[in-house]
Amino acid sequence: MKPLIIALALILATPLPAYAHPRPPRDLRQLAQQTGIKIGSAVDIAALRAESDYRKVLNREFSHVTAENAMKWESVEPQRGTFTWADADTLVDNARRNHQQVRGHTLVWHNQLPAWLTTGVADGTIGNAELRSILRDHITTQVRRYKGKIRAWDVVNEVVEEDGTMRQSIWLTHLGPGYIADAFRWARRADPHAKLFINDYNLEWNAPKIETTLALIKDLQAQGVPIDGAGFQGHLGIQYDYPGDWANVMRRFAGLGLEVAVTELDVRMELPVTPEKLATQAQYYSRALTDCLSVKACHELTVWGYTDRHSWVPGWFEGQGSACLLDESLAPKPAYQSLLAVKSPR
């Protein structure tokens, strides 16, 4: 029997051939499991409610979700003191049923503010001290409502201009730069366990914005402000070069002890669509995932809508579109397949 035992031991000690490695993932949720990265999508709440095919694909493919608009201020408090949580609750409840984590988006932004707030500030009926109280109450109310149900919040969104100056929003104008630190502190008190992010666009490549944001984070950290992460929106277009230094930029933020995330990825193109454009788009998507996977601190890649049926791009960029992983019929595009083919270095 000894020779048989020895032979068995040799067989067990022999490395498995390459073809014995795990099969390529069947979908994005399995890709997330294999790579250890959270793969998510922004969610159109009306489609989630009304379109069974949209809902089915969302829940099959994604382990992480973000409310595209349902958690923005104009959506949750359209009239002062009157809160409308139904849309945000729908997202959170659906996520819990389908074992998805949630990114809260967004607590402080210069856009999509309710008219009662912007008008009151403009005409002087809301003074600076009251504005600060309103902001504190908004953050506290929203974060407390979803305490324990939100993995990460985009606490402040797009606070740096393209030239590297601080954005001239009503918050900076009336409250001064300290509003950013206040926002993070209020969010932490409301939910001590949620990850708190700063989030911005063109942070992948814009040097002035990168340097200002890094300096801002260092200043917040020096003050003891609780900031956990930096979000790179990732709104790309194939008519522009891919931001080839993106992974190194991520590493600079990670070097400050932060988690980093790709929070709003899409890759638009000038219409009409051609096979060549789809192939280039696929390369951009796969490079974004590869860059994220190459940085240990990158734990999430979220696309800003997964289907061209409900993409924001045509409404904002004239003559452009087809920015998502799936087409209007929810058929996977080459970009979807390119993500499944990415080999994780982790």
Q: Residue 24's pLDDT is what?
A: 87
Per-residue pLDDT at 13 exceeds 60 = no
pLDDT category of residue 345 using cuts at 50, 70 and 90: confident
| Of residues 9 and 81, more confidently modeled | 81
Nearest to 310 by CA among 298, 321, 294: 321
Per-residue pLDDT at 1 exceeds 60 = no
pLDDT category of residue 10 using cuts at 50, 70 and 90: very low
Segment 37-49 mean pLDDT: 98
Per-residue pLDDT at 17 exceeds 70 = no
| Of residues 17 and 215, more confidently modeled | 215
Q: Residue 69's pLDDT is what?
A: 98
What DSSP letter does each residue of 96-131 carry, written as one string? Answer: HHTT-EEEEEEEE-SSS--HHHHHHHHHTSS-HHHH
Secondary-structure percent of the chain, ordered helix, strand, coil, rounded to 5? 45, 20, 35
- Asked if 187 contacts 225 with a C-beta cutoff of 8 angstroms, the reply is no
Determine what percent of the chain is predicted with pLDDT higher than 70.
94
Segment 339-345 mean pLDDT: 91
Give the list of residues 6+ apart from residue 78 with CB closer than 8 angstroms, or none.
Answer: 84, 114, 116
Determine what percent of the chain is predicted with pLDDT higher than 90.
92
Q: Residue 136's pLDDT is what?
A: 98
Mean pLDDT check: name the lowest of 10-14, 124-128, 337-341.
10-14
- 275-324 pLDDT, tens digit each: 999 999 999 999 999 999 999 999 999 999 999 999 999 999 999 999 99
- Mean of pLDDT over the chain: 94
Per-residue pLDDT at 247 exceeds 90 = yes
Per-residue pLDDT at 19 exceeds 50 = no
pLDDT category of residue 14 using cuts at 50, 70 and 90: very low
Domains of the chain: 27-340 (3.20.20.80)
Per-residue pLDDT at 40 exceeds 80 = yes
Question: What Å distances lie between residue 58 and 38, 93, 195, CA to CA?
Answer: 14, 14, 23
Give the C-alpha separation, 270 to 272, whole Å: 6
Segment 119-138 mean pLDDT: 98
pLDDT category of residue 16 using cuts at 50, 70 and 90: very low
DSSP three-state, residue 213: helix
Give the C-alpha separation, 229 to 40, whole Å: 17
pLDDT category of residue 21 using cuts at 50, 70 and 90: very low
Instruction: For residue 265, list its beta bridge partners.
Output: 303
- 163-181 pLDDT, tens digit each: 999 999 999 999 999 999 9
Two structure tokens written together for 202: 């063109």
Give the C-alpha separation, 73 to 139, whole Å: 10
- 100-118 pLDDT, tens digit each: 999 999 999 999 999 999 9
Two structure tokens written together for 52: 């069974």
Q: Residue 20's pLDDT is what?
A: 37
Q: Residue 12's pLDDT is what?
A: 38
Q: At what angle do helices 128-145 and 178-190 cross, to 10 degrees?
A: 30
Per-residue pLDDT at 8 exceeds 70 = no
**Catalytically active residues, by annotation:** 264
| Of residues 36 and 24, more confidently modeled | 36
129 C-beta neighbours (distance < 10 Å), count: 10
Give the C-alpha separation, 295 to 258, whole Å: 11
Q: Residue 22's pLDDT is what?
A: 62
pTM: 0.92
- The position carrying tokens 């579109």 is 321
E strands in the chain: 38-43, 64-67, 101-108, 152-157, 195-200, 229-232, 235-237, 259-270, 298-303, 320-321
Query: Rounded to the nearest 5°, which phi and psi values hold at 263?
Result: -105, -20
